[in-house]
Amino acid sequence: MSVVSIKDLLHAGVHFGHQKRFWNPKMDKYIFDTRKKISIIDLELTQEHLSAAASKAEDICSKGNKILFVGTKRSASKTIKEEASRLDLPYVDKRWLGGTLTNWKTIRGSIRRLQDIEEMISSGRIEKLIKKEAVEIQKEYVKLQASVGGIKDMKGLPDAIFVIDVKYEKIAVLEAKKMGIPVMALVDTNSNPDGIDTVIPGNDDAIRSIRLITKIIADACERGLESSKGFVAKSESSTPIIQKAKKDEVKTEEVVENIEEVKEEAKEVSETSSENVEETEVKTNEVESDAELIETEEENKEEN
């Protein structure tokens, strides 16, 4: 049984990789084809690896262990925070502090300071300070909340981390590897999958792709937490267990209807370099050839 259908992956744009000139040769085995200089990811492999990742996430959480969610770029931060928060799991959604895993004792000092300020605010003690001191403390609070607010309840190192875009979050990945912490990640065609324990090949730029993959991993964590201690999530979330769809069920018309929605979300993706911006624009233009891609993909499968 798969945790998601090919159809859902397709509609979320998970299959769109980067331009061929940006590809990492080590991702070649996950690439189905290249269309108009864009690498197309094999969704059957994505489906298989995503199911494996979800199974591992559920197993980890069923033992009462924690998974740290990491996604600091603009297209990922909101989803990472929402999905981790509803399960009371730790997350980093703004900026990865160097040493978060390798220098945990120092990070704990920042967390204690954040908790002290929160106590000052809740007890009203901050109101007794002179205005200048109160303003400085409030500024410090905002800064600490952004940097360690998502991990303030983490008592020690996580048992695994889930990462969106290993190239963007390379420091987090390196720290996890150094500390022997398993890494499961959404890996695009421009990234190096080496050192990633569970690779989920897919589009790590589009918001809909990130949202779908993250929700599936979060829902797997929720099932594990429920089985371990009767955990109840903060908000209801249906488990996306969907039988593997046959490819002939994917209708061209349905994809065309979603083109405009994908275009709008693609515009929201912010890249930190001019090369990435150019890649995103090409991805957006390629959505219009989605229907043609599906039909060709089906014909190739039938011939094989």
**In the chain, where are the structural domains located?**
6-100+157-303, 104-151
Q: Which are the contacts of 277, defined by CB distance < 8 A and separation ≥ 6?
A: 271
Higher-confidence residue of 237 and 18: namely 18
Q: Which CATH number fits domain 6-100+157-303: 3.30.2130.10, 1.10.10.10, 3.40.50.10490, 3.10.580.10?
A: 3.40.50.10490
User: If you average pLDDT over residues 160-181, what whole number do you get?
Assistant: 97
What pLDDT does residue 138 have? 92
Q: Which are the contacts of 219, defined by CB distance < 8 A and separation ≥ 6?
A: 54, 237, 238, 239, 240
Q: Give the model confidence (pLDDT) of 94-126 as tens digits.
A: 999 999 999 999 999 999 999 999 999 999 888
What pLDDT does residue 128 have? 87
CATH code for the part of the protein at 104-151 = 1.10.287.610
What pLDDT does residue 82 have? 96
User: If you average pLDDT over residues 67-74, what whole number do you get?
Assistant: 97
Q: Which of 33-37, 157-161, 227-231 has the highest mean pLDDT?
A: 157-161
Burial class of residue 145 (count of CB atoms within 10 Å of its CB; 0-12, 13-18, 19+): middle
User: If you average pLDDT over residues 159-188, what whole number do you get?
Assistant: 97
Instruction: With both helix axes pointing from N to C terminus, report the angle between 104-123 and 131-148 in degrees, rounded to the nearest 10.
Output: 130
What pLDDT does residue 159 have? 96
Q: Count the neighbouring beta carbons within 10 Å of the beta carbon of residue 142.
A: 12
- How much is the pTM? 0.74
**Has residue 265 got a pLDDT over 90?**
no
Task: Tell me how far apart the alpha carbons of residues 158 and 154 are, in angstroms, rounded to a whole number.
Answer: 8
**Has residue 236 got a pLDDT over 50?**
no
**Has residue 179 got a pLDDT over 80?**
yes
User: Phi and psi dihedrals of 89, rounded to 5?
Assistant: -95, 150
